Structure 1
Amino acid sequence: MDISALLLFIPACFALNMAPGPNNLLSVSNATRYGFKRSSLAGFGRLLAFAIMIALASAGLAAVLQTSAMLFQGLKIIGAAYLIYLAIQLWRAEPDASAQAGDVQVSMLRLAWQEFLVAAGNPKAILIFSAFLPQFVDVSRPVAGQFMVLGAMFLCLEVIAICAYAGMGVHLQRWFAEPRGKRLFNRGCAVLLTGAASMLLVARRS
Protein backbone atom coordinates (compact mmCIF):
# COMPACT_ATOMS: atom_id res chain seq x y z
CA MET A 1 0.00 0.00 0.00
CA ASP A 2 1.51 3.30 -1.08
CA ILE A 3 0.85 6.92 -0.14
CA SER A 4 -1.20 7.63 -3.26
CA ALA A 5 -3.61 4.83 -2.33
CA LEU A 6 -3.98 6.22 1.19
CA LEU A 7 -4.63 9.72 -0.15
CA LEU A 8 -7.51 8.28 -2.16
CA PHE A 9 -8.73 6.02 0.64
CA ILE A 10 -9.02 8.59 3.44
CA PRO A 11 -11.50 11.02 1.81
CA ALA A 12 -13.51 8.22 0.21
CA CYS A 13 -13.66 6.36 3.51
CA PHE A 14 -14.59 9.47 5.48
CA ALA A 15 -17.45 10.11 3.07
CA LEU A 16 -18.80 6.66 3.97
CA ASN A 17 -18.33 7.37 7.68
CA MET A 18 -20.19 10.67 7.51
CA ALA A 19 -23.05 9.43 5.32
CA PRO A 20 -26.40 9.69 7.15
CA GLY A 21 -27.48 6.25 8.31
CA PRO A 22 -29.23 4.48 11.18
CA ASN A 23 -26.21 4.57 13.51
CA ASN A 24 -25.42 8.23 12.88
CA LEU A 25 -29.08 9.08 13.38
CA LEU A 26 -29.00 7.13 16.64
CA SER A 27 -26.00 9.20 17.77
CA VAL A 28 -27.95 12.40 17.13
CA SER A 29 -30.99 11.12 18.99
CA ASN A 30 -28.95 9.88 21.97
CA ALA A 31 -27.09 13.19 22.19
CA THR A 32 -30.34 15.15 22.39
CA ARG A 33 -31.57 12.90 25.20
CA TYR A 34 -28.43 11.99 27.16
CA GLY A 35 -25.72 14.46 26.11
CA PHE A 36 -22.58 14.49 23.98
CA LYS A 37 -20.39 12.34 26.20
CA ARG A 38 -22.82 9.45 26.61
CA SER A 39 -23.74 9.45 22.92
CA SER A 40 -20.09 9.44 21.87
CA LEU A 41 -19.12 6.66 24.28
CA ALA A 42 -22.12 4.60 23.19
CA GLY A 43 -20.67 4.69 19.68
CA PHE A 44 -18.03 2.18 20.78
CA GLY A 45 -20.74 -0.46 20.44
CA ARG A 46 -20.88 0.40 16.76
CA LEU A 47 -17.10 0.25 16.50
CA LEU A 48 -17.10 -3.25 17.97
CA ALA A 49 -19.66 -4.41 15.40
CA PHE A 50 -17.66 -2.86 12.55
CA ALA A 51 -14.42 -4.40 13.85
CA ILE A 52 -16.05 -7.83 13.78
CA MET A 53 -17.30 -7.21 10.25
CA ILE A 54 -13.85 -6.11 9.10
CA ALA A 55 -12.37 -9.29 10.57
CA LEU A 56 -15.01 -11.39 8.82
CA ALA A 57 -14.40 -9.64 5.52
CA SER A 58 -10.65 -10.11 5.95
CA ALA A 59 -11.19 -13.83 6.55
CA GLY A 60 -13.29 -14.09 3.40
CA LEU A 61 -16.44 -14.98 5.32
CA ALA A 62 -18.32 -12.12 3.66
CA ALA A 63 -18.58 -14.40 0.63
CA VAL A 64 -20.92 -16.61 2.65
CA LEU A 65 -23.26 -13.68 3.23
CA GLN A 66 -22.92 -12.68 -0.41
CA THR A 67 -24.05 -16.09 -1.66
CA SER A 68 -26.56 -17.09 1.03
CA ALA A 69 -29.90 -15.47 0.25
CA MET A 70 -31.51 -16.93 3.38
CA LEU A 71 -28.83 -15.55 5.73
CA PHE A 72 -28.88 -12.14 4.07
CA GLN A 73 -32.67 -11.97 4.23
CA GLY A 74 -32.71 -13.07 7.87
CA LEU A 75 -30.22 -10.39 8.91
CA LYS A 76 -32.22 -7.78 7.01
CA ILE A 77 -35.45 -8.68 8.78
CA ILE A 78 -33.82 -8.72 12.23
CA GLY A 79 -32.08 -5.40 11.60
CA ALA A 80 -35.21 -3.73 10.26
CA ALA A 81 -37.31 -5.05 13.15
CA TYR A 82 -34.89 -3.57 15.67
CA LEU A 83 -34.91 -0.20 13.91
CA ILE A 84 -38.71 -0.19 14.01
CA TYR A 85 -38.58 -1.09 17.72
CA LEU A 86 -36.32 1.91 18.37
CA ALA A 87 -38.62 4.11 16.29
CA ILE A 88 -41.62 3.07 18.40
CA GLN A 89 -39.67 3.79 21.60
CA LEU A 90 -38.78 7.28 20.33
CA TRP A 91 -42.32 8.00 19.15
CA ARG A 92 -43.76 7.09 22.56
CA ALA A 93 -41.02 8.77 24.63
CA GLU A 94 -42.15 11.51 27.02
CA PRO A 95 -39.65 14.41 26.76
CA ASP A 96 -40.04 15.48 30.40
CA ALA A 97 -39.49 11.97 31.71
CA SER A 98 -36.40 11.39 29.57
CA ALA A 99 -34.92 14.70 30.66
CA GLN A 100 -35.43 13.98 34.35
CA ALA A 101 -34.65 10.27 34.58
CA GLY A 102 -32.75 9.39 31.41
CA ASP A 103 -29.36 9.13 33.12
CA VAL A 104 -30.77 6.81 35.78
CA GLN A 105 -32.90 4.53 33.62
CA VAL A 106 -30.65 4.09 30.59
CA SER A 107 -27.20 2.66 31.27
CA MET A 108 -24.16 3.26 29.09
CA LEU A 109 -24.04 -0.47 28.36
CA ARG A 110 -27.57 -0.37 27.02
CA LEU A 111 -26.83 2.59 24.74
CA ALA A 112 -23.70 0.87 23.43
CA TRP A 113 -25.68 -2.34 22.92
CA GLN A 114 -28.22 -0.39 20.83
CA GLU A 115 -25.42 0.95 18.65
CA PHE A 116 -23.98 -2.56 18.29
CA LEU A 117 -27.31 -4.11 17.29
CA VAL A 118 -28.13 -1.39 14.76
CA ALA A 119 -24.73 -1.82 13.10
CA ALA A 120 -24.76 -5.63 13.26
CA GLY A 121 -28.30 -5.77 11.89
CA ASN A 122 -27.25 -4.21 8.59
CA PRO A 123 -25.88 -6.96 6.31
CA LYS A 124 -24.92 -4.37 3.70
CA ALA A 125 -22.19 -3.10 6.02
CA ILE A 126 -20.05 -6.21 5.83
CA LEU A 127 -20.53 -6.26 2.06
CA ILE A 128 -19.24 -2.68 1.95
CA PHE A 129 -16.13 -3.78 3.81
CA SER A 130 -15.65 -6.72 1.47
CA ALA A 131 -16.10 -4.55 -1.64
CA PHE A 132 -14.65 -1.17 -0.61
CA LEU A 133 -11.52 -1.92 1.42
CA PRO A 134 -9.98 -4.41 -1.05
CA GLN A 135 -9.87 -1.71 -3.73
CA PHE A 136 -7.01 -0.07 -1.85
CA VAL A 137 -5.00 -3.23 -1.18
CA ASP A 138 -1.79 -3.85 -3.10
CA VAL A 139 -2.02 -7.54 -4.04
CA SER A 140 1.74 -7.69 -4.68
CA ARG A 141 2.29 -7.30 -0.93
CA PRO A 142 0.93 -9.22 2.09
CA VAL A 143 -2.81 -8.61 2.02
CA ALA A 144 -3.90 -9.35 5.60
CA GLY A 145 -1.75 -6.64 7.17
CA GLN A 146 -2.89 -4.02 4.67
CA PHE A 147 -6.51 -4.97 5.23
CA MET A 148 -6.22 -4.58 8.97
CA VAL A 149 -4.48 -1.20 8.60
CA LEU A 150 -7.27 0.03 6.34
CA GLY A 151 -9.84 -1.34 8.78
CA ALA A 152 -8.17 0.44 11.68
CA MET A 153 -8.19 3.69 9.72
CA PHE A 154 -11.87 3.21 8.96
CA LEU A 155 -12.62 2.80 12.66
CA CYS A 156 -10.59 5.92 13.55
CA LEU A 157 -12.53 7.96 11.01
CA GLU A 158 -15.74 6.45 12.36
CA VAL A 159 -14.88 7.88 15.80
CA ILE A 160 -14.77 11.34 14.21
CA ALA A 161 -18.18 10.72 12.62
CA ILE A 162 -19.64 9.56 15.93
CA CYS A 163 -18.44 12.72 17.70
CA ALA A 164 -19.61 14.94 14.84
CA TYR A 165 -23.14 13.55 14.87
CA ALA A 166 -23.26 13.63 18.68
CA GLY A 167 -22.21 17.28 18.53
CA MET A 168 -24.96 17.89 16.01
CA GLY A 169 -27.43 16.35 18.44
CA VAL A 170 -26.30 18.66 21.24
CA HIS A 171 -26.91 21.72 19.06
CA LEU A 172 -30.31 20.40 18.02
CA GLN A 173 -31.14 19.92 21.69
CA ARG A 174 -30.89 23.69 22.15
CA TRP A 175 -33.28 24.27 19.27
CA PHE A 176 -35.80 21.79 20.68
CA ALA A 177 -35.52 22.80 24.33
CA GLU A 178 -39.26 22.83 25.04
CA PRO A 179 -41.13 19.54 25.63
CA ARG A 180 -43.22 20.08 22.49
CA GLY A 181 -40.09 20.62 20.41
CA LYS A 182 -38.43 17.54 21.89
CA ARG A 183 -41.49 15.47 21.12
CA LEU A 184 -41.48 16.67 17.51
CA PHE A 185 -37.77 15.89 17.20
CA ASN A 186 -38.17 12.41 18.70
CA ARG A 187 -41.01 11.63 16.34
CA GLY A 188 -39.05 13.00 13.40
CA CYS A 189 -36.20 10.63 14.30
CA ALA A 190 -38.72 7.82 14.63
CA VAL A 191 -39.97 8.47 11.11
CA LEU A 192 -36.41 8.52 9.76
CA LEU A 193 -35.56 5.26 11.55
CA THR A 194 -38.68 3.68 10.07
CA GLY A 195 -37.57 4.90 6.66
CA ALA A 196 -34.13 3.37 7.24
CA ALA A 197 -35.80 0.09 8.19
CA SER A 198 -37.84 0.17 4.99
CA MET A 199 -34.72 0.81 2.91
CA LEU A 200 -32.97 -2.07 4.67
CA LEU A 201 -35.86 -4.42 3.87
CA VAL A 202 -35.77 -3.61 0.15
CA ALA A 203 -31.95 -3.74 -0.06
CA ARG A 204 -30.55 -6.42 -2.31
CA ARG A 205 -27.22 -8.14 -2.36
CA SER A 206 -24.82 -6.35 -4.69
Structure 2
Amino acid sequence: MPDLLVFLPACFALNLAFGPNNLMALTHGAQKGVGFSLAAASARLAVFVPMIAASALGLGMLLSASAVLFGVIKTIGALYLIWMGIRLLRTPPPRDAEEARRQVPTLGGAFRREGLIAVSNPKAILIFAAFFPQFVDTSEYWQSYAIVGGLFIALEACAILFYATAGRFAAVFLASRLHWFQRVSGGGMVLFGVLLFFSRQPARSGI
Protein backbone atom coordinates (compact mmCIF):
# COMPACT_ATOMS: atom_id res chain seq x y z
CA MET A 1 0.00 0.00 0.00
CA PRO A 2 1.27 3.53 -0.77
CA ASP A 3 2.07 5.93 2.06
CA LEU A 4 -1.13 7.95 1.75
CA LEU A 5 -0.17 10.56 4.34
CA VAL A 6 2.65 11.63 2.03
CA PHE A 7 1.11 10.79 -1.33
CA LEU A 8 -2.24 12.59 -0.97
CA PRO A 9 -0.98 16.14 -0.21
CA ALA A 10 1.90 15.84 -2.67
CA CYS A 11 -0.38 14.53 -5.40
CA PHE A 12 -3.06 17.17 -4.78
CA ALA A 13 -0.41 19.87 -5.08
CA LEU A 14 0.35 18.51 -8.56
CA ASN A 15 -3.36 18.40 -9.42
CA LEU A 16 -3.84 22.02 -8.34
CA ALA A 17 -0.76 23.32 -10.16
CA PHE A 18 -1.86 25.97 -12.65
CA GLY A 19 -1.37 24.68 -16.17
CA PRO A 20 -3.15 24.69 -19.53
CA ASN A 21 -5.82 22.14 -18.58
CA ASN A 22 -6.71 23.94 -15.35
CA LEU A 23 -6.77 27.22 -17.25
CA MET A 24 -9.23 25.58 -19.65
CA ALA A 25 -11.45 24.47 -16.74
CA LEU A 26 -11.34 28.03 -15.39
CA THR A 27 -12.28 29.47 -18.78
CA HIS A 28 -15.10 27.01 -19.42
CA GLY A 29 -16.45 27.64 -15.93
CA ALA A 30 -16.55 31.37 -16.67
CA GLN A 31 -18.16 30.88 -20.08
CA LYS A 32 -20.88 28.32 -19.34
CA GLY A 33 -20.80 27.31 -15.70
CA VAL A 34 -19.45 24.63 -13.41
CA GLY A 35 -21.44 21.72 -14.87
CA PHE A 36 -20.30 22.49 -18.41
CA SER A 37 -16.67 22.76 -17.30
CA LEU A 38 -16.83 19.46 -15.42
CA ALA A 39 -18.39 17.70 -18.41
CA ALA A 40 -15.73 19.06 -20.77
CA ALA A 41 -12.91 18.16 -18.36
CA SER A 42 -14.07 14.54 -18.25
CA ALA A 43 -12.10 14.26 -21.50
CA ARG A 44 -8.95 15.04 -19.53
CA LEU A 45 -9.69 12.25 -17.07
CA ALA A 46 -10.45 9.85 -19.92
CA VAL A 47 -7.04 10.65 -21.45
CA PHE A 48 -5.16 10.37 -18.16
CA VAL A 49 -6.40 6.83 -17.42
CA PRO A 50 -4.58 5.17 -20.38
CA MET A 51 -1.58 7.45 -19.81
CA ILE A 52 -1.31 6.13 -16.25
CA ALA A 53 -1.60 2.58 -17.57
CA ALA A 54 1.11 3.33 -20.13
CA SER A 55 3.44 4.67 -17.45
CA ALA A 56 2.85 1.49 -15.43
CA LEU A 57 3.97 -0.50 -18.48
CA GLY A 58 7.17 1.55 -18.71
CA LEU A 59 6.33 3.75 -21.70
CA GLY A 60 7.20 6.82 -19.62
CA MET A 61 10.80 5.60 -19.58
CA LEU A 62 10.72 5.24 -23.37
CA LEU A 63 9.45 8.79 -23.76
CA SER A 64 12.10 10.23 -21.45
CA ALA A 65 14.85 8.18 -23.12
CA SER A 66 13.94 9.16 -26.69
CA ALA A 67 14.85 12.76 -27.44
CA VAL A 68 13.17 12.54 -30.87
CA LEU A 69 9.87 11.19 -29.54
CA PHE A 70 9.80 13.68 -26.70
CA GLY A 71 10.61 16.53 -29.07
CA VAL A 72 7.86 15.60 -31.54
CA ILE A 73 5.15 15.33 -28.87
CA LYS A 74 6.37 18.49 -27.15
CA THR A 75 6.34 20.50 -30.38
CA ILE A 76 2.85 19.35 -31.36
CA GLY A 77 1.54 20.22 -27.91
CA ALA A 78 3.24 23.62 -27.85
CA LEU A 79 1.98 24.61 -31.30
CA TYR A 80 -1.55 23.55 -30.43
CA LEU A 81 -1.56 25.65 -27.25
CA ILE A 82 -0.15 28.68 -29.07
CA TRP A 83 -2.67 28.32 -31.91
CA MET A 84 -5.59 28.05 -29.49
CA GLY A 85 -4.34 31.00 -27.46
CA ILE A 86 -4.07 33.18 -30.57
CA ARG A 87 -7.63 32.22 -31.51
CA LEU A 88 -8.87 33.37 -28.12
CA LEU A 89 -6.87 36.60 -28.36
CA ARG A 90 -8.23 37.39 -31.84
CA THR A 91 -11.88 36.76 -30.95
CA PRO A 92 -13.55 40.20 -30.92
CA PRO A 93 -15.90 41.21 -28.10
CA PRO A 94 -19.54 40.24 -28.91
CA ARG A 95 -21.75 43.04 -30.20
CA ASP A 96 -24.97 41.55 -28.85
CA ALA A 97 -26.35 38.59 -26.89
CA GLU A 98 -26.76 36.42 -29.99
CA GLU A 99 -23.14 36.90 -31.03
CA ALA A 100 -22.03 36.20 -27.45
CA ARG A 101 -23.95 32.93 -27.54
CA ARG A 102 -22.25 31.91 -30.80
CA GLN A 103 -18.79 32.59 -29.38
CA VAL A 104 -19.26 30.23 -26.43
CA PRO A 105 -17.88 26.76 -27.27
CA THR A 106 -20.14 23.76 -27.64
CA LEU A 107 -19.72 20.89 -25.21
CA GLY A 108 -18.28 18.73 -27.98
CA GLY A 109 -15.72 21.39 -28.88
CA ALA A 110 -14.77 21.98 -25.25
CA PHE A 111 -14.49 18.21 -24.67
CA ARG A 112 -12.12 17.82 -27.63
CA ARG A 113 -10.07 20.81 -26.51
CA GLU A 114 -9.57 19.43 -23.00
CA GLY A 115 -8.60 16.02 -24.36
CA LEU A 116 -6.16 17.38 -26.91
CA ILE A 117 -4.45 19.57 -24.35
CA ALA A 118 -4.07 16.62 -21.99
CA VAL A 119 -2.73 14.18 -24.56
CA SER A 120 -0.39 16.65 -26.26
CA ASN A 121 1.59 17.43 -23.10
CA PRO A 122 4.39 14.84 -22.68
CA LYS A 123 4.99 16.01 -19.13
CA ALA A 124 1.84 14.28 -17.89
CA ILE A 125 3.04 10.75 -18.59
CA LEU A 126 6.46 11.67 -17.22
CA ILE A 127 4.84 12.79 -13.97
CA PHE A 128 3.04 9.46 -13.81
CA ALA A 129 6.27 7.58 -14.54
CA ALA A 130 8.46 9.60 -12.15
CA PHE A 131 6.14 10.47 -9.28
CA PHE A 132 3.99 7.37 -8.93
CA PRO A 133 6.80 4.78 -8.54
CA GLN A 134 7.93 6.50 -5.34
CA PHE A 135 4.67 5.32 -3.73
CA VAL A 136 4.25 1.94 -5.42
CA ASP A 137 4.79 -1.26 -3.47
CA THR A 138 6.79 -3.46 -5.84
CA SER A 139 5.56 -6.62 -4.10
CA GLU A 140 2.00 -5.67 -5.14
CA TYR A 141 2.92 -3.61 -8.17
CA TRP A 142 -0.29 -3.57 -10.21
CA GLN A 143 -2.64 -3.24 -7.26
CA SER A 144 -0.52 -0.47 -5.77
CA TYR A 145 -0.23 1.36 -9.11
CA ALA A 146 -4.00 1.11 -9.56
CA ILE A 147 -4.54 2.66 -6.11
CA VAL A 148 -2.28 5.66 -6.69
CA GLY A 149 -3.70 6.07 -10.21
CA GLY A 150 -7.28 6.01 -8.95
CA LEU A 151 -6.47 8.51 -6.21
CA PHE A 152 -4.79 10.80 -8.74
CA ILE A 153 -7.90 10.76 -10.95
CA ALA A 154 -10.16 11.50 -7.96
CA LEU A 155 -7.96 14.41 -6.84
CA GLU A 156 -7.78 15.68 -10.42
CA ALA A 157 -11.59 15.81 -10.46
CA CYS A 158 -11.48 17.86 -7.23
CA ALA A 159 -9.00 20.27 -8.84
CA ILE A 160 -11.26 20.59 -11.89
CA LEU A 161 -14.20 21.45 -9.62
CA PHE A 162 -12.08 24.07 -7.85
CA TYR A 163 -11.04 25.83 -11.07
CA ALA A 164 -14.48 25.55 -12.66
CA THR A 165 -16.06 27.13 -9.58
CA ALA A 166 -13.42 29.86 -9.51
CA GLY A 167 -14.14 30.60 -13.16
CA ARG A 168 -17.86 30.83 -12.48
CA PHE A 169 -17.35 33.28 -9.61
CA ALA A 170 -15.02 35.34 -11.80
CA ALA A 171 -17.71 35.53 -14.49
CA VAL A 172 -20.27 36.78 -11.96
CA PHE A 173 -18.02 39.62 -10.83
CA LEU A 174 -16.73 40.40 -14.33
CA ALA A 175 -19.90 39.84 -16.32
CA SER A 176 -19.47 43.02 -18.38
CA ARG A 177 -15.77 42.34 -18.96
CA LEU A 178 -15.85 38.66 -19.83
CA HIS A 179 -14.05 39.32 -23.12
CA TRP A 180 -11.04 40.54 -21.10
CA PHE A 181 -11.12 37.31 -19.14
CA GLN A 182 -11.00 35.53 -22.49
CA ARG A 183 -8.01 37.64 -23.54
CA VAL A 184 -6.18 36.64 -20.36
CA SER A 185 -7.00 32.98 -21.05
CA GLY A 186 -5.66 33.30 -24.58
CA GLY A 187 -2.47 34.94 -23.37
CA GLY A 188 -2.08 32.19 -20.80
CA MET A 189 -2.41 29.51 -23.49
CA VAL A 190 0.26 31.18 -25.61
CA LEU A 191 2.55 31.45 -22.57
CA PHE A 192 2.09 27.77 -21.68
CA GLY A 193 2.78 26.83 -25.30
CA VAL A 194 6.02 28.80 -25.36
CA LEU A 195 7.12 27.34 -22.01
CA LEU A 196 6.37 23.83 -23.24
CA PHE A 197 8.23 24.45 -26.49
CA PHE A 198 11.40 25.45 -24.62
CA SER A 199 11.11 22.83 -21.87
CA ARG A 200 13.95 20.36 -21.67
CA GLN A 201 13.67 16.62 -21.89
CA PRO A 202 13.67 15.19 -18.35
CA ALA A 203 16.81 13.37 -17.34
CA ARG A 204 16.59 9.63 -17.68
CA SER A 205 17.73 9.15 -14.11
CA GLY A 206 14.67 11.05 -12.88
CA ILE A 207 12.32 8.24 -13.89
Query: 1:182 is matched by which residue type in structure 2?
Result: L
Query: Whole-Å Cα distance in 2 between the matches of residues 127 and 177 of structure 1?
Result: 39
Q: Aligned residue for 2:191?
A: 195
Q: Which 4+ runs in 1 deviate beyond 6 A?
A: none
Query: 2:135 is matched by which residue type in structure 1?
Result: F
- Tell me by how many angstroms 1:75 deviates: 0.6
If the length of structure 1 is used for normalisation, what is the TM-score? 0.91
Give runs of aligned pairs for residues 2-151 of structure 1, distance below 5 A: 5-96=3-94, 99-102=100-103, 106-139=105-138, 141-151=139-149
- Tell me by how many angstroms 1:144 deviates: 1.2
If the length of structure 2 is used for normalisation, what is the TM-score? 0.91
Contact 2:86/2:187 (8 A) holds in 1: no
Aligned identity (percent) is 39
Query: Whole-Å Cα distance in 2 between the matches of residues 112 and 29 of structure 1?
Result: 13
Query: Whole-Å Cα distance in 1 between the matches of residues 131 and 75 of structure 2?
Result: 24
- Tell me by how many angstroms 1:95 deviates: 4.2
Over the aligned positions, Cα root-mean-square deviation in angstroms equals 1.4
Query: Whole-Å Cα distance in 1 between the matches of residues 124 and 93 of structure 2?
Result: 32
Query: Whole-Å Cα distance in 2 between the matches of residues 111 and 74 of structure 1?
Result: 24
1:204 aligned onto 2:200? yes
Query: 1:30 is matched by which residue type in structure 2?
Result: H
Contact 2:88/2:185 (8 A) holds in 1: yes
Shifted more, 94-103 versus 14-23: the winner is 94-103
Query: 1:147 is matched by which residue type in structure 2?
Result: Y
- Tell me by how many angstroms 1:101 deviates: 2.9
Query: Whole-Å Cα distance in 2 between the matches of residues 151 and 74 of structure 1?
Result: 26
Query: 1:33 is matched by which residue type in structure 2?
Result: Q
Unaligned runs of 5+ in 1: none
Query: 1:133 is matched by which residue type in structure 2?
Result: F
Query: 1:93 is matched by which residue type in structure 2?
Result: T
Query: Whole-Å Cα distance in 2 between the matches of residues 71 and 25 of structure 1?
Result: 26
